[in-house]
Structure 1
Amino acid sequence: MNKNILTLALLAASFETAANIEISENILVSGFGSTSWAKSDNSTPLITNVEISDQSCFDCDTTLGLQIDGYFNALHASAQVVKRPQDHWSDPELEWAYLGYQYKDLLFRAGQLRIPLFLYSEYYYVGHAYAMSRPPTEVYNSILGITAYQGFSLTWNVDIDDEKSLSITPFYGLEDEKEVNLNQDTFLELDTKRMYGVNMLLSGDNYRWNFSYLNSRYDQRVTLTNYTMTIPSIGDITIPRYVDESEDNRIELYSLGAEYEFGSTTLTAELQKNDRSSAWYSSLQYRIYDFIPYVVYGQQYNEEVQESSRIREGESVTAGVRYDLRYNLSLNAEWQYFHTEKGYDGAFIDVPSKPTAQLYTIMINFVF
C-alpha cells in the first residue's frame, strides 16, 4: 500500500476522541481527509483533477485538510489548508483564509473565500459530509473544480418563522489567477478581472433549497503540448507547444438545488446552466442503521454547438453504499457507469476511444 495512504488510514483510526481540538477558549483546530482505491475499465482517465484510468490508483482521491478557527466576540478568523487530489504533498492549497465580522443578522467576510454555488460547495473536500464518494461530476466539475475566490461577501440571515430560515449572500471577487491541468497535454491559465454573484439558501426542518448566480470576466491562456493541426496541401503536423490566448471572456452561471429528508430517505437534485454547458443530477439515499445505500443519475449538455438546441455530452449512473464505522469515520463502496457521446469528452479528461467506462471505488473518509 502507498505509504501516504497507510498514514492516513492509521490517523483515521485514532480520530474518535480527537474531534475539534480546542487549543484555547477561543481557538479550535479541525481537519478532514479521504483516500481510496479506484480503477476503471477505460484507459482514458476520468474526472478532472482526479484522473482515474484502468490502472489501480491508491492516491487519485487523496485529500487531507486542516482548519483553524478563532472566535473573538463578533470577530471570526478562519484558515483552511488542503492537499487536494491534484496537489503534491509538498504543495497543498490555501483553500480559504478570511476575517469575518458578525453584526446582528449580518455577517461580513473578506479574504479568500469559498465560491457559494452548490449544495455541497461549502464542504466540497470533506468526503465524510455527503453519502457519495465524490459530488456528482456533471454539476460540480462545471467550473473545472475551481472552488475559491479572493474578495468579500455579506450574508443576511433571517428567520422567516419558527420552521424556516433564509440566508442571502451577495459576493464580489477581485482580480485573481487560477491554473488548471485539464489533461497531460492541456494547461489552462485563467486571469479573472472581476466576479460577482449572489447565493440564497432557504432551510426548513427537513429540507433546503439553494439558488446561486455568478457572473465573471476573465482572460484565458491555453497551452497545448504535442498539438496536431491540419494544414491544407501538407496534411497533419504535430507542434511540440502551441499557445492560444483570448481576452475579455465571460461566463454567466445559474444553479438551483434542493434536498429533502423523509425519515430515513433523502432526495437531492441540482442543476446548473452557463454559457457553455448545462448539467443536472438527482440522487436517492436510504439509511439503514449505519448503512446508507444510494443511487445517483446525472447528465451534462453542450450549449455551444447549436444555437437552437443543446447536445448531450454524457451521462452517468452511480450505485453505492456508505458504512459509518464511527461518528467521524466512514467507508464507501461504489460503482459508476459513464457514457459519452461520440466526439465529446463528457466526464473523461479527453475524448476517449471507447465511449463508456465503469469505475470502481473503495473510499475511506474521516473528520476530526
Structure 2
Amino acid sequence: MSRWFILLLFLSAKAAAQFTLSDDLRVSGFGTFTAAKSDSITPVIDQRDLTNQWCYDCDSILGVQFDWHISDHLRSALQILKRPQDHYSSPQLERAFIEYFNHGITLKAGRLRTPIFIISEYYYVSSAYPWLRLPNEVYNSFRGLTHYDGVVLDWSYESRSWGQWIVSPFYSIEREEKIEQYGQTFDISIKDSLGFSTNWFYEDHQLHLAYIHNDATQKLNNLFIKELKLDMVSLGFSSTFAQWHFQSELLLATHLYANWYASIDYTWRKFTPYITYGQSRRRIDSHSYLLGTTYALTSDINLYAEWQRIYGQNEMMSGQFTRLQDPSEPFDTQVNLVSFGISFTF
C-alpha cells in the first residue's frame, strides 16, 4: 500500500516540475514502478529476481535530490534513493557532493556516480533513456555498485568545428560493499581506485570511453574467497538522426566480461518503439532480444511495455538467471519476460 501512496504523492506533485524552496535551493525527484512476469520459476536479472509470478515491486525506484547553488562557482547536491534491491524503509545515500566550476574546469568531491557508461549519470532515471531497464548485459555488470566516494576533475574544451570534448580523471577511496550473487551475500573490500572517462559531443552524436582499475577482496561469511584485480574498459556510441536514435556500448574486463549491446529506437508522435540485442561472454554466456515501446503521457510521465527473451547455457550458472539451478532437474536455458511500467520526474 505504501508504494502506491508514494506514487500518487509524486504524481500529484509533478506539475510543480521542481520545488524551489528559495532562490538557491531546489528539490527534484524521479521514480519508476512496474509490473513484470517471466515464464520461469528460476529468478532472472540481478537486483530484480523476476519469476513466473507477477511482481509489482521488483523494479521500483524512488529518488529525491536536493541542489544548493552556494555561489556563482560553487554548488552542492544530495540524493536519497530507493533502488530496486532496497526496501522502502531503508533508502540509500546515492550522491552527496560539493562542486566547484570555473572556465571549463569542474571539481567534485564526495559521493559520486561511477562514470563508466554513457548513461551512468542517469542510471536510475528511466525517463532519461528509451528502455524501462538499462541493458542487462552491460549495466548489471557492477552488481548494483553505482557510486564511489572520492573526487573527479572534469576538463571541458569546446570548438565550433569539432564539438565538445570532456576529460574526467577520477579517484575513489577504499570502501566496503555487499553484493548479492546466486542467493548469497558477499563482502567486497575495494581498495583505492583510479580511472578516467572521456566524452566527445558533436551535434546529436556522442562517443564515450572509460577505464577503471580495481583491486578488491571477496569474502563470504568472513572467509576469504579470492583476490580480484580488474582492468575495465567501456566504449559507447550514441547518435540521433531526425526521429531515429542508435546506441551501443561495449564492456571489457579482465577474465570477466566481453559484453555489449546495440539498440535502435524511433520517435513517432508520443510513441518511441525500440529494439535491443545484447550479448555476454567470458564469465557467463548469454544473449537477449528486447522489443518495447514508450508512450509519453506528459513531458514528465512515461508509460512502457516490453517483451524480452533471454538465452543462457545448459549449466547450473546460466545466463541472466540469479539462482543456481538444480542439476537433478532439466535446466532452464531461456526465459520470456513481460514488463509494464511507468516512470516520472518532477
TM over 0.5: yes
Gaps of 5+ in 1: 224-242, 304-311
Q: How many angstroms apart in 2 are the aligned matches of 1:39 and 1:4?
A: 22
- Corresponding position of 2:339: 361
Matched, 1:333 2:271: no
CA displacement at 1:219 relative to structure 2: 1.4
- Corresponding position of 2:243: 264
Q: What SS is found at the alignment partner of 1:28?
A: strand
CA displacement at 1:39 relative to structure 2: 0.4
Matches within 5 A, 1:268-287: 268-275=247-254, 276-287=256-267
The residue identity in structure 1 corresponding to 2:122 is Y
Task: Identify the match of residue 54 of structure 2 among 53, 56, 62.
Answer: 56
Matches within 5 A, 1:107-146: 107-146=106-145
Q: What SS is found at the alignment partner of 2:138?
A: helix
Q: Would you say the 8 A contact 1:164–1:203 is kept in 2? A: yes
CA displacement at 1:13 relative to structure 2: 3.5
Instruction: Give the aligned CA root-mean-square deviation in angstroms.
Output: 1.4
- Corresponding position of 1:251: 230
Matches within 5 A, 1:1-368: 3-72=1-70, 73-161=72-160, 164-184=163-183, 186-223=184-221, 244-246=223-225, 248-275=227-254, 276-302=256-282, 313-343=285-315, 344-352=317-325, 353-368=331-346
Q: How many angstroms apart in 1 are the aligned matches of 2:188 and 2:276?
A: 32
CA displacement at 1:206 relative to structure 2: 1.1
Q: How many angstroms apart in 1 are the aligned matches of 2:88 and 2:13?
A: 21
Q: How many angstroms apart in 1 are the aligned matches of 2:192 and 2:97?
A: 19
Query: Aligned pair in 2 of structure 1 residues 295, 8: CA closer, same or farther (>3 Å)?
Result: farther
Task: Note the alpha carbon deviations across 1:267-297, whole angstroms, 9 max, x for none.
Answer: 1100100011210000010001000000000
Q: Would you say the 8 A contact 1:8–1:33 is kept in 2? A: no
Q: Which runs of 4+ in 1 moved over 3 A?
A: none
CA displacement at 1:246 relative to structure 2: 4.0
What TM-score, normalized to structure 1? Answer: 0.89
Q: How many angstroms apart in 2 are the aligned matches of 1:157 and 1:295?
A: 33
Q: Would you say the 8 A contact 2:39–2:335 is kept in 1? A: yes
Q: How many angstroms apart in 2 are the aligned matches of 1:109 and 1:187?
A: 32
Q: How many angstroms apart in 1 are the aligned matches of 2:289 and 2:119?
A: 19
Gaps of 5+ in 2: 326-330
CA displacement at 1:121 relative to structure 2: 0.7
CA displacement at 1:20 relative to structure 2: 1.6
The residue identity in structure 2 corresponding to 1:267 is F
Q: Would you say the 8 A contact 2:188–2:218 is kept in 1? A: yes
Q: How many angstroms apart in 2 are the aligned matches of 1:93 and 1:313?
A: 32
Question: May I ask how many residue pairs the two structures share in their alignment?
Answer: 338
